[in-house]
């Protein structure tokens, strides 16, 4: 009976830990350190381990590098330790992609001694879409501390770590692509508005702000029709917007009688991200100044 209660308590703890980890992955897509450290801390607590670490493969060097750790006595020297692929239990797991349970490190020729009082260890691969990203390793000062069930649980946690790593990498790549797109967008000489189907402004490039001397924050989320009707240089008529909505194309010339500035205005209906959108381009064609 006591054994059954202990098993139930452990299962409850495992499910609670997995729930915390999944919530962290979903809410902290840009904070890999927090998610991985939660995974390592949970693994050490659930399996009564003394230390835990996540090592990622550095393809250019063919080594494993520690990127997160849990437990005590992690000196700066230990934190910067790296292993060649195939070196130690962790390096072996990184090459073979298979879990490894070592009940007695003193009898295992693959063991790499990082902590002097360790007697047993378990390591599992971190795999995403068939690619080995790295290894999660935990150890204990007790002999034969880890069972096959412990190994299965650690592998489950490693799978969540793989998910967190991939999510973070994809988020970073998407962010970099957005930043690059915005740089190109801002570098265009023409002023451009990106609007949704209702002509609500979604994006503005820097040239538009410079041309018309307006602040971007005051335009986003507002109607392009209203914004441009209130812009001193662009009193565009209501028929202009009706034509754009109906035909999906706009091409007009406009000259401000006060400043003598002339513009070509192009508009087109398109698809962005699977949704209808309008691109409106403002090209200044002349700039005439009155004589003093």
Shared domain for 29 and 140, answered yes or no, is yes
The pLDDT tens digits of the residues spanning 254-263 come to 777 777 778 8
Q: What is the pTM of this model?
A: 0.66
Q: What is the CATH number of the domain that holds 144?
A: 3.30.450.40
* Res 268: pLDDT: 92
Q: Where a domain ends, among 128, 159, 178?
A: 178
Query: Is 251 inside a domain boundary?
Result: yes
| Rounded CA separation 63/26 (Å) | 30
Shared domain for 63 and 17, answered yes or no, is yes
Shared domain for 23 and 56, answered yes or no, is yes
* Res 143: pLDDT: 95
Q: Are 236 and 193 in contact (CB under 8 A)?
A: no
* Res 234: pLDDT: 58
* Res 289: pLDDT: 45
Query: Is 7 inside a domain boundary?
Result: yes
Query: Is 183 inside a domain boundary?
Result: no
| CB < 8 Å & 24+ apart, contacts of 283-291 | 283/189, 283/190, 283/191, 284/191, 284/211, 285/253, 286/260, 286/261, 286/262, 287/260, 287/261, 288/260, 288/261, 289/260, 290/260
Q: Where a domain ends, among 121, 151, 178?
A: 178
Q: What is the CATH number of the domain that holds 211?
A: 3.30.450.20
| Rounded CA separation 34/43 (Å) | 14
Q: Where a domain ends, among 124, 154, 178?
A: 178
| Rounded CA separation 210/265 (Å) | 16
Give which of 25, 125, 29 is closest to 85, Cα–Cα: 125
Query: Is 292 inside a domain boundary?
Result: no
* Res 109: pLDDT: 92
Shared domain for 42 and 123, answered yes or no, is yes
Shared domain for 124 and 68, answered yes or no, is yes
Low-confidence residues of the chain, pLDDT below 70?
A: 1-12, 14-15, 17, 21-22, 24-30, 216-217, 229-238, 286-292
Shared domain for 152 and 282, answered yes or no, is no
Shared domain for 34 and 134, answered yes or no, is yes
Q: In this structure, what token pair is assigned to residue 223?
A: 């109607």
* Res 288: pLDDT: 47
| CB < 8 Å & 24+ apart, contacts of 83-89 | 83/55, 83/112, 85/57, 87/112, 88/112, 89/121, 89/123, 89/137
* Res 224: pLDDT: 83
Shared domain for 163 and 124, answered yes or no, is yes
* Res 226: pLDDT: 76
Shared domain for 6 and 139, answered yes or no, is yes
**What is the count of structural domains for the chain?**
2
Domain span holding position 196: 188-287
Query: Is 95 inside a domain boundary?
Result: yes
Shared domain for 20 and 94, answered yes or no, is yes
Shared domain for 151 and 39, answered yes or no, is yes
* Res 76: pLDDT: 93
Shared domain for 171 and 207, answered yes or no, is no
């Amino acid at each position: 009976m006591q054994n059954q209660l202990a098993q139930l308590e452990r299962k409850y703890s495992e499910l609670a830990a997995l729930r915390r980890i999944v919530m962290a992955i979903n809410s902290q897509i840009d904070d890999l350190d927090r998610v991985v450290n939660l995974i390592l801390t949970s693994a050490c607590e659930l399996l009564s381990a003394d230390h835990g670490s996540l090592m990622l493969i550095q393809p250019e060097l063919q080594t494993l590098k520690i990127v997160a750790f849990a437990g005590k006595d992690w000196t700066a020297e230990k934190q910067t330790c790296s292993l060649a692929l195939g070196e130690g239990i962790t390096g072996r797991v990184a090459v073979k992609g298979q879990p490894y349970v070592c009940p007695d490190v003193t009898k295992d020729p693959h063991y790499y001694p990082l902590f002097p009082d360790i007697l047993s260890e378990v390591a599992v691969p971190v795999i995403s879409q068939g690619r080995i990203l790295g290894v999660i390793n935990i150890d204990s000062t007790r002999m034969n501390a880890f069972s096959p069930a412990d190994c299965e649980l650690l592998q489950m946690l490693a799978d969540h770590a793989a998910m967190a790593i991939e999510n973070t990498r994809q988020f970073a790549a998407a962010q970099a692509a957005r930043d690059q797109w915005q740089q190109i967008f801002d570098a265009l000489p023409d002023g451009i508005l990106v609007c949704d189907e209702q002509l609500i402004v979604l994006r503005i490039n820097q040239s538009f702000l410079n041309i018309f001397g307006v602040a971007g924050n005051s335009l986003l989320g507002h109607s392009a029709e209203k914004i441009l009707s209130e812009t001193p240089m662009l009193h565009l008529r209501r028929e202009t917007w009706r034509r754009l909505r109906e035909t999906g194309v706009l091409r007009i010339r406009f000259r401000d009688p006060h400043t003598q500035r002339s513009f070509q205005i192009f508009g087109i209906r398109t698809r962005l991200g699977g949704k209808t959108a309008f691109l409106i381009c403002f090209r200044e064609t002349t700039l005439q100044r009155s004589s003093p």
